[in-house]
Amino acid sequence: MTKKKKVFIPVMLTPFKGDGSVDYDGLTELTEFYLNAGAGGLFANCQSSEMFFLSDADRLAITRHVVKIANGSVPVVATGTFGGPIAKQAEFVKKMYGTGVEAVIIITNMLAGELESSETFNNRFYSLLEKTDNIPLGFYECPLPYKRILMADQLQPFVDTGRIIYHKDTCLDLAQIKAKLHATSHVPDFGLYDAYMAHAIDSLKAGSAGLSCIQGNYSPELVVWLCKHYDEPARQAEVTRIQQFFIDNMEVMHAVYPLSAKYFLQKRGLNISGSTRSFSGVFNDEVKKKVDNLYNAFQELLEESEVSPVTRQ
C-alpha cells in the first residue's frame, strides 16, 4: 500500500445468516464484489464488520477467509487489538498476523482509556511493539467506544519505527490530515487512508494514500473512480459531482448502518441477508424509503456518468 497509487480500501461488512452465524458463502461473494469494483486492498475485521460482536474465533476465521479469497491479488489488513493487558493484545496480534494479512491494525482507543493521557498511550504502544516481533502494524481511529485521534507529532515517531504502514484516519479535519501527511511524508511505506468523504478529494490531493470509507459499502466503484481520477483536470466536473453525491447522501448512508448497506447491496443483487449482530436502530419503512431513493439516485448517476458498475463474475 504505497502513496503513489491512490486506492480504495473497503471497510468490509460481515454477512450473517438468519441464525446469527457467519455466512461464508456471502462473505466470498462480498469479497469478490469489492475486488471486481477495483479495490486496492481489503480491511477485514473492522467496525463495519461488527468486530466488537465477533468472537476471537470468528475474527480469525473471517480474516483467514478473506485472505484466501483475495489470493494475493490485493493486500488485506485486519484489526488485532481488543483491550485488556498489553501482553494479551500482543498474543492476539500474532494470531491475527498468522492469518496471512499484510498488517495487523491497532484500534487507538484500545491502548488507553478516554481519560488517560497520550503518554500512557505511547508507553503501551511501545510495549506492544516490543511484544509483537517484527509484525507490520497500522492504526485505526475507531469511533467506538470512543474516538482517540493521533495528532501529527504523536503519529510521526510511531511511523519512524518502520513498523507502521497503515493509518485509517477519522479525524474529519483536513488541516490535521495535512499535518499528518507532512509529518510522515519521508516514510515511503506508510499510507494514510481517509474515512471522510466530505473532503476526500482535497485529502487525496494533499497526499493521502487513498480512501477507506463506509460509502464504499454502497457503491465501491464510485470511490475507486475518484481515487483514479481525482486530479485529472478534464474530469473535475465529474469528480465534484460524484463527491457531492456522497456528501448529499451521507446521512442516509449512516442511518441504521450496517443493515442499510446490506439492504442496498441486496438491491444490487448480492445474495446476503440483512442480519446483523449489532443494533444501530430500527430499519422501518421511513428508513427503507430513504435507502430506496438512494438506490434510484445511484442508478441515475451511473447512467449519466462514465463509471462502470460492478459486474458479478
> Where are the chain's structural domains?
7-304
Which pLDDT tens digit goes with each residue over 105-163?
A: 999 999 999 999 999 999 999 999 999 999 999 999 999 999 999 999 999 999 999 99
- Nearest partner of 148 among 168, 165, 162, 132, judged by Cα: 168
Buried b (16+ CB within 10 A) or exposed e, 274-300: bbbeeeeeebeeebeebbeebbeebee
What CATH number labels 7-304? 3.20.20.70
CA 273 to each of CA 25, 121, 178, 257, 312: distance values in angstroms, whole numbers, following the listed order: 11, 39, 39, 14, 17
Inform me whether the pLDDT recorded for 28 exceeds 80.
yes
Strand segments (E) across the chain: 7-8, 42-44, 76-79, 103-107, 137-140, 164-169, 191-194, 210-211
Which pLDDT tens digit goes with each residue over 192-248?
A: 999 999 999 999 999 999 999 999 999 999 999 999 999 999 999 999 999 999 999
Whole-number percent of the chain with pLDDT over 90: 97
Q: Positive or negative, the Cα torsion across 282, 114, 10, 47?
A: negative
In terms of pTM, does the model score above 0.85?
yes
Q: What average pLDDT score do residues 268-275 get? A: 96
